[in-house]
Amino acid sequence: MNAPTPTQTRQRSYFVDNVQFPFCKGCGHTQVLRRLDEALSALNTPAEQIALVTDIGCIGLADGLFRDIHTVHTTHGRSTAFATGIGLADRVLAGKDLRVVVLIGDGGAMIGLQHLVHAAMLNVPMTVLICNNFVYGMTGGQGSGLTPERFITATTPDGNITPPADLCAILTGSNAQFVARTTTSDTNFPDIMRRAFASPGFAAVEILELCTEYAVPKNELTGKMLAGIAEQNGWALGVLRENASRAPFHVRYAEAVRTSATPKVREHGFSSAPHAHQLAGPVSIVLAGSAGERVQSSAAALCEAAIASGLYVTQKNDNPVTQGSGFSLSEVWISPEPIQYTGIERPDIVVAASEAGLRELTSRGTMASVSDDTVFVVDESLAVSMRTRKLLPLSLRKSLGPKDAALGGLLAACHEKNVLPDETLALIARYRMGDRAKVCEGMVFSV
């Protein structure tokens, strides 16, 4: 990408003129940024097509050292997630190829591990440089999850007793396209940077480096010893993963969108338009049954028919958090006027299509709120003694089967209460049950 051509002037450096690094003497960050600048310069990418996203910590001071490129200084550990958003919007929505570079320390890499893993899994094009100097430098040299064993830090004064994580192994395990580990004193460092930047997807380079302020004074440590520390902690060096064949996210996404079915617009399945309603006032319905027995979808079918008849409706569903077991319940209002309060204090219609449904009606207080005028339809198998004058035990489960019991009960109650004309109720039955609607109609309209 953006290979220099004879007509282009080669970008010498992206640093500001006479760049002054704000880091301590001997700090590895200076070397990392020099290698970064060289790698970018070699690619000759126009400055406005580079976004440098930095994390919290000393390495986050890098923003101010660059000229002309976009810089985004973020929150601790989240740099990769912001970069993911920038990168995906750029590739997927804008169709451009902004070069996204992330600078993050060992502390940030561990607090934001999830974001690194996510970006690696998605394979979002970006180059992440993880500057591992084994300590939190800006806050006084505390140990991180990438601090070597036996290392002395402010928070491990007697030596770190916890072996550090292998970040590169985590990223390799997350299917990162390119993963490498190097040190600031490694002669291969520039070559690894070049290969990381040549990777078309997610590329991460962990760079072991010195914090001269906190790590060096307390531990026997020089730049030449970094490779040895890697070995002692089981950290492999070099390019650890280079999977050129793995397509970046935006390529796979474009392919998936191209081959996916056109989005479906759901329409009601009535064979003809419902008849005009004659409902004078609002009606409230509580329909209760068992999970998996089409309780909520039956209520929805009634609501759709009511809307198609020119009525206003609200529907609220309830079920245990497990979704697929226990009761299933819908609360419905149908009204010729817009509906405000959606709660039901005194239901006009209650339907109990199963034992689990009846139990729920009792436990939520619906049974206690039933009045003289409530139409109460129950499956005949359920023992109910109510004060309503309109208790209708029907052979819902036996005659219609458990999957249509709720709908049958609902239609019978609506027939009894004149909620919708019988022709409309018959349309709902045919829409939901097909040929089996005959039995249902026979039962409903004989109520």
Distance CA 388, CA 384 (A): 11
The answer to whether residue 68 forms part of the interface with another protein (CB under 8 A) is yes
How many residues in the shown chain lie near another protein by CB under 8 A? 59
| Residue 446 DSSP SS3 | coil
* Of 170, 179, 126, residue with least CA distance to 146: 170
- For residues 201 to 240, the per-residue mask of contacts with another protein, x marking binding by CB under 8 A and - elsewhere, is ----------------------------------------
The answer to whether residue 47 forms part of the interface with another protein (CB under 8 A) is yes
The answer to whether the beta carbons of residues 387 and 374 sit under 8 Å apart is: no
Question: Tokens 């309780």 sit at which residue?
Answer: 295
The answer to whether the beta carbons of residues 308 and 298 sit under 8 Å apart is: no
Question: Toward another protein, which CB reaches closer, 44 or 369?
Answer: 369
The answer to whether residue 247 forms part of the interface with another protein (CB under 8 A) is no
Binding segment for another protein (CB under 8 A), chosen from 24-32, 111-119, 157-165, 420-428, is 111-119
Strands 312-318 and 178-183: unpaired
The answer to whether residue 21 forms part of the interface with another protein (CB under 8 A) is no
The answer to whether residue 341 forms part of the interface with another protein (CB under 8 A) is yes
The answer to whether residue 75 forms part of the interface with another protein (CB under 8 A) is yes
* Of 65, 86, 146, residue with least CA distance to 111: 146
First to last CA, the chain: 76
Among 64, 269, 292, 442, binds another protein (CB under 8 A): 64
Indicate the residue type of 431: Y
Angle (nearest 5°) at CA 322 between 316 and 327: 55
Residues 145-184 that bind another protein (CB under 8 A): none
Q: What are the phi and psi torsion angles at 430 (to 5°)?
A: -70, -40
| Residue 369 DSSP SS3 | helix
For residue 166, the surrounding DSSP H or E stretch is none
Question: Toward another protein, which CB reaches closer, 77 or 357?
Answer: 77
Distance CA 137, CA 376 (A): 72
* CB 203 to another protein: min, Å: 18
The answer to whether residue 273 forms part of the interface with another protein (CB under 8 A) is no
Binding segment for another protein (CB under 8 A), chosen from 146-154, 304-312, 421-429, 436-444, is 304-312
The answer to whether residue 87 forms part of the interface with another protein (CB under 8 A) is yes
Among 43, 72, 198, 392, binds another protein (CB under 8 A): 72
Which positions lie near another protein, rule CB under 8 A? Answer: 47-49, 51, 61, 63-64, 68-75, 78, 81-90, 92-94, 96, 98, 114-115, 117-118, 253, 256-257, 260, 262-263, 300, 303, 307, 311-318, 321, 339-343, 345
